[in-house]
Structure 1
């Protein structure tokens, strides 16, 4: 039985045992300028008459007083009665550690009682939920809360519980009890399918944590894991990434296309009688790269932006080597081999099959796109035919333009966008977004809005907290945080956690029970009481402070919001019995599929008609876009980044001769269409190497699958309730509790995909990406 369970586990998606990783999903910052396709059927759809819910949503986000706290008893963050001060986090840490130790002891005692052995997987999942709910909360607070005292307390809470979780991940006693369950046919077969998958998730992650090795090796595993965490935080710290400026002479900026900023820069040089110092990443640097006719200032800015200090290179290479050492410690060939067990790709070799096929498909179009840029450069500089496009030429001859909708749209305020998304969810899934009042203390900033996700029977599926505006100290970018996962709770048998009445009455333990008791509901049509999903969305939209009227979103912000709401819907519908496989707790190379697909819906005029509340705008179907050849170049660049990620997490990093810059130069020298520039080392700016180590390919992979799902299922009728229910039922509701390949093959009615082997990975690499088409070979 154990052999069968292990064989099954190796083909399924895994999540960590007692870690929060996987709950936070940040939208990848890529160079891809997503230009929506207009190939979907553009049949007219009558605009829905506005409902009171539509108007309420618009007012909720667009009227400043829309989120005023309701009267009533004050509470703490997310409605936790105790979370009213930073000090409460310290109390929670102490209480949760006490309860976690009791649960750990209960699992270790389980072999003394046959009935307790049937509860082992449930209790391990409860232990994981207990710890993750608090660590995830700490991770969110330290990123979102504007008060430094809260941030400091959250950091302390995070560190204290992370250390305890590292101990649990290498706990031989827990592993042996679980292995007994897996080896006993009666115990294993008594579990539901979700329960069996949860058991295998725990087993697989124990195996990845040196569990079968001697004590000294397990101790070394904990030490290396902690070191990787510290190195990763340092690598991601933007304050350590300050680059020296490029020194630009005023005459080098003659003829700037951007006359406004160009004149200001030249005046600055004139009045100060000094050369200009242009810092990488600044608006001035971006302007020069896009609009300086002379190559030299662009070259200088490029080199300044893509160079690294010795300290930065040392930090990155130490991170990569430490990951390699960790993998070798547990018997894996490389970190990539270790990390990809349980992912859809399964192995670095299969990732290679996918990327090679995708490269072969995209490369001809990318080469034709580059030829167009070369002809532009030839005409501009009056050179010989086909001059080489250098890295600093890319943005000048094909200036990055902000994405725009495929058709003219009315003014998209924040409230209008949420209304449109709510209408879309109602068409597809029968759920709507509804404004929810908050009581004093429930949110951490006045700009935060709370939404209920409500089905057609008026049952609440979950809550979304939307923290969408930038502010001092808040990290940039966008992210989806899971605050509370779905989990069945009425069969927890909490009294069995305590060995005495004295322990049950301990006020510190009562405090932890209270902390975990909110956000519970009996599900209609399902047996039992469940935790309901609570998520938070963080974005960095420009604040509306001082602005007149509601905030209007740029199109890229609309796409960002749709992406994050795709994650949120996955959390809402993936309401499983077990926390460990709920919602977005699934394989890294599967989790982006729902969110990328949600962006793709915004390529459809029929979908975009839902954003017109009055039906007076007269939405048409003519594209705003000329063909942009540069997205093929950008896709080529993303493939190379995924290649580099695989190299950096291969066994090569353990060689004493490993040099990350040389590896970069070799790869780009042989594969890139734009030359590598000697002396540059931009890999230290490749921030995704830490959170997406060995899995950076996932975005290309899920973009490809999302394009196929869209074209096969939704393109012809994107508002079909039948198709939406099918996608929800086949893909979203299982969370990580079912093999993604089985779900995908069923959804697409393609049983040949179920194996997910090398052949299938190559086939997916040959699928079309969104908006893919041959570039005409003309000027």
Structure 2
């Protein structure tokens, strides 16, 4: 999962959450190969990492000798300071806005417009992103309220800039002057294009009445999106299950309790969707009728829930039509790798064609199991409620048996991996009192063997009340070159000198000069949020489940993208890149867990019995799940196509038609899963991105890394050709160079088809993990 903002002053920062971890049933092992791996001597930092995360008595390594504020900003020692900082930032942002608006008065100022627009974006986002972290992680309600105030105040100003005709006209003067354009570096030009496209998407060139309509529709979409998410997460009514339908449950413990409960009450048992009882019935109830009822209950909707979604979809297409686009998908995709809805369909069609034979074979396997269960003479049809019963999900597991992996051990393995690939390691650092928001938070320095400290990761990894759920990567500070800011020319405002100084002091903390590198840079700072079990003296260190290890590798993929993608412009820094490219580094990190060589990095002193095991066999359900994911991506495109404009548009009918014409399992009448498809809110028309990046990551792993995953030359190539650019270079060119596939460079329809033909691999080489 990635928490990030759109890298531009022209879009209110939004959280982009990419977190797909469907049920998995990894391969079991048959053959033991007695090949051990060489012992890697533990470094001082290795030992420190294990000690930091595994021994509670070590505490948070907070220095008591001095105090500061959050992230070493001396002013942020109390909640109101966030409000004051937001006000100070507004003053400076207005001064810089006025300077940009006067840029046409001199050529020297026009030459600085792209830089100053990026500075303006960073000035606002630097506080917005910090406030976003605080309101999701801080345990103190007063701090959260202050963060909400700061966030809303600055976002409101950013929304004003979104449709600022004056700023657009100045940028237009720059972009239409060939003599100025040729002075821009490729990264600067890419940054300018981001601003240009975002202005155009904001109806900037329309008459005032239509611009006002654009703002109104955008507000309606935000409100409807929140309402849709609320309804998507709302509890569904229970299913009534007869006591007789609970006979023969595989789960003897809970099954017996449910049967006794039903017998005692002398009435049907009410089973709520999502409950443990519902999961148990879907996985182990021989009665098909019980499973059918629970499935229908779990996928039901009220007319009001369907209405909210369809109103959201219709408002989106109205917005797109206002700016001259045929559909919301067309408006959304022109700055993505896909470029157009047609290209997305080329990708999905190719991926569907490639995956269908595997999924059909899996359906056949389940059908034979159902035939044996019922003793029928012919193969029965697999229904939606059969999936978990005939192929029950199992907890994710590593490709080989491993000793218990503690949190410290996994961080040690990550640091060793980065050292091999990039010459970068993780090092525990003391946090000054007041620098972190909770004693659970640990600070890590990201150390380059040549440049020294290149950034910081704050790890807030343990579950607690009030903290945002799930796992996420928050970019609190982006890379940006600062020695050419020319702040003095921004001017000042009488009576506001103190506030201006406060904002300048806030930004000064971020700046550093690295060895062997020209210029002064704002160094990246990210926060990882997870909800692992806290270690204790009684229980000992936190031991991670395999899915938690995978999650940590995924999030650290985002973190290293932020650290290495240190660009001169913050709008293209690290993870600030195309939505359908941003998950590539994090998904690729998951593939490293397929390597037995990489797994050996978890062994500190060579005492663990890590041995190679081969001859895996695949679980047939992976391909079914992948195919289902492709169908969801397809329905997302339908919901954001011109078809929504039809007065007879029916989201349920469209879903049913897709399943019945291209699906493998029949649509179930009376269901309407789309009202629970929460990603339609934040990722309308871009849901394909998950599958797209997983296909590319699989290809990169197989063709580039799999044979020698610790090879420094390969790691440097990946760092040099992909990670360092952030969003500052065309992703197609980066992928084309990395894979040695010039046919991909144009990113046209055939390139999208080609990616669709690539097999989506799991960590253990199976199709369909998502």
Q: What are the within-5 Å matches in structure 2 for residues 498-509 of structure 1?
A: 498-499=491-492, 502=494, 506-509=497-500
Aligned equivalents of 1:385 and 1:773: distance in 2? 33
Distance in 1 (alpha carbons) for counterparts of 2:193 and 2:296 = 49
When normalised by structure 1's length, the TM-score is 0.94
1:584-603 counterparts in 2 under 5 A? 584-603=575-594
**722-731 vs 46-55, greater mean Cα deviation:** 46-55
Which residue of structure 1 aligns with residue 746 of structure 2? 755
Q: Which runs of 5+ in 2 are unaligned?
A: 1-5
Look up the SS of the partner of 1:277 in the other structure.
Answer: strand
Report how far residue 78 of structure 1 moved: 2.3
Task: Please state how far the C-alpha of 1:89 moved relative to its aligned partner.
Answer: 2.3
Are positions 1:536 and 2:527 aligned together? yes
Is 2:128 aligned against 1:108?
A: no
Return the offset for 1:774. Answer: 9.5
- Give, in angstroms, the shift of residue 92 of structure 1: 2.0
- 8 Å contact 1:23–1:584 — kept in the other structure? no
- TM-score calculated relative to the size of structure 2: 0.95
Q: Deviations over 1:659-714 (max 9, x none)?
A: 21111111111111111110111111111112221111111111111111111111
1:469: how far off? 2.2
Match of 2:46 in 1: 54
Q: Distance in 2 between matches of 1:85 and 1:242?
A: 38
Q: CA deviation at 1:394?
A: 0.2
CA offsets per residue over residues 67-114 of structure 1, 9 Å max, x none?
Answer: 142113332222222223332222122111111111110000111122
Give the Å deviation of 1:33: 5.5
Name 2:643's counterpart in structure 1: 652
Secondary structure of 1:589 counterpart: coil
Question: In structure 2, the residue corresponding to 1:99 is in which secondary structure?
Answer: helix
Question: What is the CA distance between 1:180 and its match in structure 2?
Answer: 0.9
**Residue number among 46, 65, 76 corresponding to 1:83 in the alignment:** 76
- Answer yes or no: is 1:379 the counterpart of 2:372: yes
Q: Which moved more, 1:590-599 or 1:467-476?
A: 467-476
1:561 maps onto 2:552 in alignment: yes
- Look up the match of 1:717: 708
CA distance in 2, matches of 1:34, 1:354: 26
Give 1:353 deviation, angstroms.
0.5
Q: Which residue of 1 aligns with 2:572?
A: 581
Deviation at 1:482, TM superposition (A): 0.4
Question: Match of 1:524, SS?
Answer: coil
Counterpart of 1:7 in structure 2 is none
Contact 1:25-1:481 within 8 A present in 2 as well: no
Out of 28, 35, 43, the position equivalent to 2:20 is 28
Is the Cα–Cα contact under 8 Å of residues 231 and 676 in structure 2 kept in the other structure? Answer: no
Distance 1:523 1:378 in 2: 67
Q: Distance in 2 between matches of 1:21 and 1:725?
A: 32
1:634 matched to 2:619: no
Mapped partners of 1:756, 1:142: distance in 2: 39
Deviation readout 1:415-446 (Å, 9 max, x if unpaired): 11111111101110111111122122222222
Which stretch shifts more, 576-585 or 517-526? 517-526
Q: Which residue of 2 aligns with 1:212?
A: 205
Alpha-carbon RMSD: 2.3
* Distance (whole Å) between structure 1 residues aligned to residue 109 and residue 708 of structure 2: 51
User: What secondary structure, in the 3-state scheme, does the structure 2 residue paired with 1:186 have?
Assistant: helix
- The DSSP-based 3-state class of the residue aligned with 1:212 is coil
Within the alignment, does 1:249 sit opposite 2:254 as a pair?
A: no
Contact 1:27 1:564 in 2 (8 A): no
Aligned CA distance change for structure 1 residues 33 and 643 (closer, same or farther; 3 Å):
farther
Q: In 1, distance between residues paired with 2:399 and 2:497? A: 61
Match of 1:389 among 382, 389, 405: 382
Is contact 1:471-1:543 (8 Å) kept?
A: no
Which residue matches 2:3?
none
In structure 2, relative to structure 1, the CA distance for the partners of 1:70 and 1:487 (3 Å cut) is same
Q: What's the CA shift string for 1:522-555, capped at 9, x where partnerless?
A: 1233221111111111223344468611111110
Partner Cα separation in structure 1 for residue 223 and residue 491 of structure 2: 36
- In 1: Cα distance, 2:438 partner to 2:252 partner: 39
SS of match in other structure, 1:229: helix
- Post-superposition CA distance 1:37-57 (Å, at most 9, x none): 999x99864121111111110
The answer as to whether partners of 2:37 and 2:610 remain within 8 angstroms in 1 is: no
Give the whole-Å Cα distance in 2 for the aligned partners of 1:694 and 1:731: 25
Change (3 A) 1:737 1:324: same
1:521 to 1:728, Cα distance in 2 relative to 1, 3 A: same
Instruction: Report the 3-state secondary structure (helix = DSSP H, G, I; strand = E; otherwise coil) of the residue aligned with 1:483.
Output: strand
Residue number in structure 1 paired with 2:120: 127
Paired position in structure 1 for 2:634: 643
**Cα distance in structure 2, aligned partners of 1:714 and 1:474:** 36
Which residue in the other structure is 1:229 paired with? 222
CA contact (8 A) 1:32 1:635 kept: no
Tell me which residue corresponds to 1:519: 510
Deviation at 1:194, TM superposition (A): 1.0
Pairwise CA distance, 1:22: 6.5
How many residues align structurally?
760
1:662-741 → structure 2 map (5 Å cutoff): 662-741=653-732
User: 1:616 maps to which residue?
Assistant: 607
Quote the Cα distance in structure 2 between the aligned partners of 1:684 and 1:42.
Answer: 51
1:738–1:34: structure 2 CA closer, same or farther, 3 Å change rule?
farther
Seen in structure 2, the aligned counterparts of structure 1 residues 713 and 774 have a Cα distance that, compared at 3 Å, is closer
Q: Is the 8 A contact 1:36 1:603 kept in 2?
A: no
Residues 619-639 of structure 1: per-residue CA shift (max 9 Å, x gap): 111149532011000110010
| 2:152 match: secondary structure | helix
Which digits, 9 at most, give the CA deviation of each residue in 1:725-776, with x for residues without a partner?
000000000001000111111111111111110111111111122159899x
Q: Confirm or deny that 1:63 pairs with 2:55.
A: yes
For the structure 1 residues 692 and 33, does the alpha-carbon distance in structure 2 shift closer, same or farther, using more than 3 Å as the test? farther
Looking at structure 1, the residues matched to 761 and 258 of structure 2 have their Cα atoms a distance apart, in angstroms, of 40
1:189-245 deviation digits (Å, cap 9, x = unpaired) = 222221111111111111111011001111121222222222222323379511122
In structure 2, what is the equivalent of residue 8 of structure 1? Answer: none
Structure 1 residues 242 and 551, CA gap change in structure 2 (3 angstroms): same
Q: Please, which runs of 5 or more residues in structure 1 have no aligned partner?
A: 1-13
Q: 1:412 aligns with which of 405, 409, 418?
A: 405
Distance, in Å, in 2 between the alignment partners of 1:381 and 1:526 is: 71
The structure-2 alpha-carbon separation of the partners of 1:357 and 1:43, relative to structure 1 and needing over 3 Å to count, comes to: farther
Q: Counterpart in 2 of 1:367?
A: 360
1:152 aligns with 2:145: yes
Secondary structure of 2:431's counterpart equals coil
Q: Does 1:764 align with 2:747?
A: no
Distance apart, 1:148 and its partner CA: 2.7
Matched, 1:346 2:329: no
Matched, 1:195 2:182: no
